[in-house]
Structure 1
Amino acid sequence: MNYRMIAYSVGRILVAVAATMLAPLGLSLLYGESIALAYVIPIVISVLIGLCVSAKAPKNKSLYGRDGMFIVAIGWIVISIIGCLPFYISGQIPSFVDSFFETVSGFTTTGSSILTNVEALDKSLLFWRSFTHWLGGMGVLAFAMAIFSSKDTRTTHMMRAEMPGPVVGKLASRWQFSLRILYGIYIALTVIEFVLLLFGGMPVFDSLLHTFGTAGTGGFGIKNSSVAYYNSAYIDYVIGIFMMLFGLNFNVYFLIIARKFSQIKSNDEVKWYIGMMIGAAVIIALNIMPMYHGFGRAFRYSFFQVSSIMTTTGYSTADFVRWPMLSQIILVLLMVVGACAGSTSGGMKVTRFIILMKTATHSIKKAVSPRSVFSVKVDGKTVEKNIVNGVLGYFVVYMLFAAVSILLISFDNKDFTTTVTAVIATMNNIGPGLGLVGPTGSFADFSALSKIVMSIGMLVGRLEFYPILILFSPYAWKRT
């Protein structure tokens, strides 16, 4: 393992993160806030540490799969620690654990919050809080290394470790070109949503921050009542549709640009994703229709909430804890499934869900006809056995980690619904759960231990377990 190159890479990432803090620093000065030092201190710390470990490039610049895992895991933990300092130093989130929880929730695009009055934060902190969503959405580490690294192999291992989904494929012959395409699409969609929100009468600052939260599918609200504050059908549908768009595999947009529409039509993940979202929205709308006195208004709220939950964004326009049990159960199931692989969303991913469902179906067929040969197919192509095994392994690790987290958090003696959905909401990078952590609640009342457990859950959920698990594996450290 190339320890020197790992340290060098993390150092470069620290410098990049320090640069991103210049934006909220500038805003704090613009608005005449008294918390400029809350940004200056972490910027200085990041730059000093970053330059110390990356001032001289190591002679051996080789990076392998395990090295990429280490860089991603260490990098995400370090940027979360550095990123939480503005909240902590400013005193507006006086607990370091709470500041860390909030920042991890931001970078992992979870949206769970310990704040009970978000509107009390200074504007620059609100900006930084939402900006972490936008940075974390596409993977800040791979983006930083794509800028700094001239070797495609270095970017490759980090892209595979950081990008969500069972398979990460290139859009172009080189990863750096692929990243440029991805971020070009990401920025274009961000700008379009921002402009549309402005047309809807939302203030510039609010439009920008809600766009950050939608693009990263993070969902940090800047009002205590989230998007419900604006009470606008236009805004609900704009944000709802863009949450849905950011939950799509970004390869789909590349195919649209390349006019390869036949590949989109044969894409099972897209069909399942859109079908599940529209189907769930219609069923919930019918279920809650008596509460909203008509299907049209009920569909407005159901579509927004389904889009928000399935894409793991976490914005809310209604207190869905008060909806009928059928609607709540559907939302919990969508929390687990999540959106598409290769998107900015969390959750298990639709592709994995498809593979698990087809594997289960074939297992039943195999039990009936033991001599028959069945293969799992997605998009009309046979899925390689190692990918199927990887999905099954992921599901086992997912269930074990969820069980251990629920047991640890149960020491806080919260009710069953709150405890279970708090773990699901954080581990799947969703934001709100049910019970005390519903859309009108917060995670403030959990103990420091529970917040640390859920912070780890957000990290492993965003990085899909293996980078963090490998980082804490003695076997991985011992191997040369």
Structure 2
Amino acid sequence: MLFSLTMLPSAMVSLLYQDGAYETFIIAFGVVLVSGFLIWLPVMNYQGDLRTRDGFVITVVFWLVLGLAGSLPFYFAPSVKLDFTNAFFESFSGLTTTGATVITGLDDLPQSILFYRQQLQWLGGMGIIVLAVAILPLLGVGGMQLYRTETPGPVKDNKLTPRIKETAKALWYIYVTLTIACALAYFIAGMGVFDAITHAFSTIAIGGYSTHDASIAYFDSVAIETVAVIFMLIAAANFSIHFVAFRHRSIKIYFQEPEYRTFLYIFGVLLLIVVFTLWVTGTYPALSALRYGLFEVTSILTTTGFGAADFSSWPLFVPFMLFLSSFIGGCAGSTAGGMKVIRVMLITKQGLREVQRLMHPQGVFPLKVGKRTMSDNVIQSAWGFFSVYILMYGLIFMLLLATGLDFTTSWSAVGACMNNLGPGLNEIAQHYENINEPAKWILCFAMLLGRLEVFTLLVLFTPMFWRR
């Protein structure tokens, strides 16, 4: 019922621009509101505590139900003409901040539909932050749980507590503040008011939807690209670090934080390789190589998916290297997708420790992140996640091949959706409109799997979970 209210801002945008889509959002608002009320009515007086097991179910169903509700404006709108599969795919891609779109001709769509797409990503991004920082650690899973080893999983009485409310409130203030700052920066850089607000939505959410088919390339502005790069890098940081930095009024916090520092190192190395390759191969002159290389490295590594150039057509190994960087993604507790930097750090450190043990079998080599020593349980969790992630990647890849998609399209589609990146290679470099329906449903599952950090979803498929 609360989610139905999110249809109203788009209805107001429709009235403001007189774009003729007002009725679409009012009908969708009514359907979602009434449906929610009818579901809530039989249990309105029930009182009970949520257990950890309930938390897993609610977390998964939350995305599925809101994805379904969010698809209604796309399904009802005559201007986009989407069937149920495509409407759900677009909605689900928005809410999970994947940014894989089936809609083309964005420049000709009603302003209210464009606003709604961007708003979906913004709301999804807020949900992801609360999920990653407040809920998943409480359930004992997620990247934040690995990083904050001093934080217990389920609390002592094994119930989801009201502390989530306070955490969510603080995160909401930070999220809104960054969105406003990003919108103002876009406006100052030369965007119109509508584009500035809508692109701020998808930038802070690391979503990648745009109001134009050409994405950020539409504006052809170094200033706008610079603003996008800055805020993509900010949004890829752990939002808990934003909270600490805001509280202490110091940016030193970001550079003292081991995970974000490592993220910046990876970003710097990728940038040097890409810019050098684009320049040496004559793809662009030096300054243009820096301009487009900087933007695309930031966009792909942070799993945003904005485009200032077509990276899939770049020479040699560059498209594949950039695409593989999305597997790393941003920091735990951010809106970015991927496996998260903290897990990559832990797996790399563990690999190096195994090499040391070969040379010194009796040696003791503590594994540290910053000044904190990580327990073996944390290392095992990181390796477990990595193993299951790769296993599911292979399984979904085979399923896509079975639907008839070619090798490159299938390989990149799985990565683009599991990493919540959006654009891929070959057939899906620009959009997903032309791939078959079974593949789209499989990719929706991949989006959810990546967004919920694998275990939260897969635990529901184990017989042990359902035993009393």
TM-score, normalised with respect to structure 1:
0.88
Aligned equivalent of 2:70: 83
Please list, as runs of the form range in 1=range in 2, the aligned pairs for 1:207-246 lying within 5 A after superposition: 207-246=196-235
Q: 2:60 — aligned with what? A: 73
The equivalent position to 2:298 in structure 1, one of 294, 297, 307, is 307
Amino acid corresponding to residue 392 of structure 1 in structure 2: W
Distance change >3 Å, CA 161–CA 125, structure 1 → 2: farther
Aligned mates of 2:61, 2:14 — CA distance in 1: 29
Asked if the contact 1:312/1:347 (under 8 Å) is kept, the reply is yes
Please list the CA deviations of residues 426-458 of structure 1 after superposition, one character each: whole Å capped at 9, or x if unmatched. Answer: 1100011122222xx211121111000001101
Matching residue of 1:401: 392
1:124 shift after superposition = 1.0
User: Where does residue 105 of structure 1 map in the other structure?
Assistant: 93
Partner secondary structure for residue 138 of structure 1: helix
Distance 2:338 2:199 in 1: 21
Structure 1 letter corresponding to 2:13: L
Amino acid at match of 1:271: R
Aligned AA for 2:274? I
The answer for the alignment partner of 1:369 in structure 2 is 360
- Judged with a 3 Å threshold, the aligned counterparts in structure 2 of structure 1 residues 468 and 40 are, in CA distance, closer, same or farther, namely farther
Give TM-score scaled by structure 2 length. 0.90
CA 351–158 in structure 1, closer or farther in 2 if over 3 Å, else same: closer
Shift in Å at residue 340 of structure 1? 0.6
- Conserved? CA contact 2:128–2:335, under 8 Å: no
- How many residue pairs get aligned? The number is 450
Provide the rounded CA distance (Å) in 2 between the counterparts of 1:374 and 1:175. Answer: 36
Compared with structure 1, are the counterparts of its residues 157 and 415 closer, same or farther at alpha carbon in structure 2 (3 Å cutoff)? closer
Pair 138,386 (structure 1): closer, same or farther in 2 beyond 3 Å: farther
Shift in Å, 1:293: 4.7
1:33 counterpart residue number: 19
Distance 1:375 1:64, change over 3 A: farther
Q: Which residue matches 2:154? A: none
Q: Which residue of 1 aligns with 2:440?
A: 451
Residue ranges of structure 1 left out of the alignment (5+ in a row): 1-14, 144-154
| Other-structure match for 2:10 | 24
Q: Structure 1 stretch 110-119 or stretch 75-84: which is displaced more?
A: 110-119
Q: Which residue does 1:270 correspond to in 2? A: 260
Q: 2:373 aligns with which of 371, 378, 382?
A: 382
Contact kept, 8 Å, 2:125 with 2:205, in 1: the verdict is yes
Show the 5 A alignment for 1:299-378.
Answer: 299-378=290-369
- How big is the shift at 1:242? 0.7
1:87–1:99 Cα contact (<8 Å) kept = yes
Amino acid at match of 2:278: I
Superposed CA deviations along residues 309-346 of structure 1, whole A, max 9, x for unmatched, are 11110001011122122322320221110011111110
1:284-330 per-position Cα deviation (integer Å, ceiling 9, x unaligned): 11110254653322111111111111111000101112212232232
Report the equivalent of 1:189: 178
2:199 & 2:142 partners in 1: Cα distance? 22
1:239-290: per-residue Cα shift (whole Å, max 9, x none)?
0111111001112222222337776444221111111112211221111025
SS at match of 2:31: helix
Deviation at 1:414, TM superposition (A): 3.4
> Aligned-residue CA RMSD in angstroms?
2.4
Q: Which amino acid aligns with 1:136?
A: G
Cα distance in 2 between the residues matched to 1:362 and 1:159? 27
One-letter amino acid of the counterpart of residue 46, structure 1: V
Cα displacement (A) at 1:141: 9.7
User: Is the partner of 2:326 in helix, strand or coil?
Assistant: helix
Are the aligned partners of 1:460 and 1:468 in contact in 2 as well (CA < 8 Å)?
A: yes
Q: State the distance in 2 between where 1:365 and 1:433 align.
A: 38
| Matched position secondary structure for 1:336 | coil
Residue type at the aligned position of 1:450: A
Separation in structure 1 between the aligned mates of residue 50 and residue 95 of structure 2, nearest angstrom: 25
> Against the structure 1 CA distance between its residues 458 and 362, is the aligned structure 2 distance closer, same or farther, given a 3 Å change threshold?
same
- Check the 8 A contact 1:266/1:380 in 2, yes or no: no
How many angstroms apart in 2 are the aligned matches of 1:267 and 1:200? 30
2:143 alignment partner in structure 1 = 165
Gaps of 5+ in 2: 152-161
> 1:162–1:106: structure 2 CA closer, same or farther, 3 Å change rule?
farther
Residue 136 of structure 1: which of 124, 132, 137 is its match?
A: 124
SS in 2 for 1:242: helix
1:32, 1:374 → 2: CA distance? 66
Secondary structure class of the residue paired with 1:258: helix
Q: How far apart are residue 41 of structure 1 and its match?
A: 3.0
1:97-144 CA-partner distances (Å, limit 9, x unpaired)? 11111111100001111123222322111111111111011217959x
Give how far 1:160 is off.
Answer: 4.4
Question: Which of 62, 67, 84 is the matching residue for 2:49?
Answer: 62
Give the aligned partner of residue 455 of structure 2. Answer: 466
- 1:370 deviates by 2.4
Q: Distance in 2 between matches of 1:306 and 1:419?
A: 22
Structure 2 counterpart of 1:165, which letter? G
Q: What's the % identity of the aligned pairs? A: 32
